[in-house]
Copies of this chain bind each other. A is one copy, B any other.
């Protein structure tokens, strides 16, 4: 089962800056060959369910190893049984509606 996931991982307590922790997570996605895109509220990832979820477990483990004792992650998980989906296609389908005169500045 393929899956699209958004991960927003938040270490609680300690250093207020999260960018080092988030960078470590990016490295985990890269090492697993998972297509991913960083944005201001998380990282969007696509791949096979077990590979993606294994990466998210590895993120928690890695951030704990770095000394963060408490983590709260928020995930969105999208699956479809009718057809293939992709991170890119989800954005394109909205952008097309905004540029074809259908709803743009209607």
In the complex, what residues of B have CB within 8 A of residue A61's CB? 1
Main DSSP-derived SS at the A contact region: mixed
List residues of chain A with CB under 8 Å of any chain B CB. 1, 4, 6, 8, 10-20, 22-24, 26-27, 37-42, 44, 49, 53, 56-57, 60-61, 64, 68-82, 87-88, 90-91, 93-98, 102-106
What are 20 pairs between A and B in contact, CB < 8 Å?
Answer: A6-B40, A10-B12, A10-B72, A12-B18, A13-B16, A14-B14, A17-B93, A19-B93, A19-B96, A22-B94, A23-B94, A27-B103, A27-B104, A64-B79, A69-B80, A70-B80, A71-B80, A73-B75, A74-B74, A75-B75
